[in-house]
Amino acid sequence: MDEQIPDRAIKGRGAVGNPSGRFEPYTRARTDDGWWLDPQDLEQRPATRVLPDSSRSILARNDSPDVPFDRSINPYRGCEHGCIYCFARPSHAYLGLSPGLDFETQLFAKHHAPELLRQALAKPGYKPSTLALGANTDPYQPIERKLEITRRLLEVLAEARHPVSIITKSALVLRDLDILAQMARNNLVRVCLSLTTLDHQLARVLEPRAAQPQRRLQAMRELSTAGVPVAVLTAPIIPAINDHEIEALLQAAATAGASTASWVLLRLPRELGPLFEEWLGAHFPDRKAKVLKLMREIRGGKLYDSRFGSRMRGEGAYAYMLAQRFSVAVRRIGLDNRSWDLNISDFRAPGPAGQLGLF
């Protein structure tokens, strides 16, 4: 019988394996049949590939009571940051791809997103409300440096004077400080920076291609100095991995200029549960059992509970303790201003792109 080749951690990537998505009729596993197996093949790092996304609309709507926005834009599908905890990973299964390594190597770019946004905002009867940019995947992931889709989206929003809340863990957001500072003067923008750990070693395996913690803190400083409101997202909080850092994360963010804070407990929907278990086995085998035990205590005996109200915070004594620690810390540090109100009164429908916009 052929021997199955175990998956192993790959430097610069988050997921350990590349399991088939839930809609695939077959599962696949690498095996060694003893013929022409070169050990170097097992260590080969998967390259990043960017494909065009053919979406015909760009605004995603939601009525979730767990989030403070009802519309969002995601310029990219998949994310090269490779964060193992990313709740968006299971969405790659809809594309016939794996939520594992495929999610961080097989990316899709919405090249026409700015044009689609312009059309959506110009429709008769459109009513503005704060739009979340990057609610699913990071709008400032590495490929944005070249493609500049997010920057072009911001140009449309600035022209229309439409409020936007940006969610990212990338220092690349500073590239667009010229637009953001201008929008901030009219209360049209807030930048929410995710900060999960101050430990550089943990950051390398938890979020392998995202900005290091100190770069994110520096981005907070520069944004705040330029007058752009900054929120810190201590998300996700992972039991027995980064939960001990809650107070330190909040203090570091406040010192860097953040004015408000939020937190989310680790979520493990669908394929993300097995992927996270595999990651724990590769990087924290000594803590794996404890982490999973705490997760099940928080989620009523399961690894995930999708119910509104509990999916973001969990339930039980341990979840209550985390919530109390966060609440006490934000009050003490002064990060408890949770207002998400941005200016909608100056909205104006954008005109046609290019020269036609002059008429």
Q: How far apart are CA 51 and CA 76, in angstroms?
A: 10
Domain boundaries, the chain: 17-22+47-336
pLDDT at 274: 96
What is the strand order of the sheet 230-237 is part of?
A: 60-61, 71-73, 131-133, 164-168, 189-194, 230-237, 260-265
pTM, 2 dp: 0.92
Q: How far apart are CA 103 and CA 90, in angstroms?
A: 9
Q: Over the chain (359 residues), what is each successive 10-residue block's mean pLDDT? A: 65 92 76 55 76 94 86 97 97 96 98 98 96 96 98 98 98 98 98 98 97 98 97 97 98 97 95 97 97 96 89 94 97 84 95 56
| Closest of 256, 258, 232, 257 to residue 246, by C-alpha | 232
Structure tokens at 121: 């905002």
> Which string of DSSP letters, residue by residue, matches 166-207?
EEE--GGGGGGHHHHHHHHTTT-EEEEEE---S-HHHHHHHS
Structure tokens at 213: 């913690």
- CB within 8 A of 334, min separation 6: which ones? 254
pLDDT at 32: 56
Q: Are 191 and 154 in contact (CB under 8 A)?
A: no
The CATH number given to 17-22+47-336 is 3.80.30.30
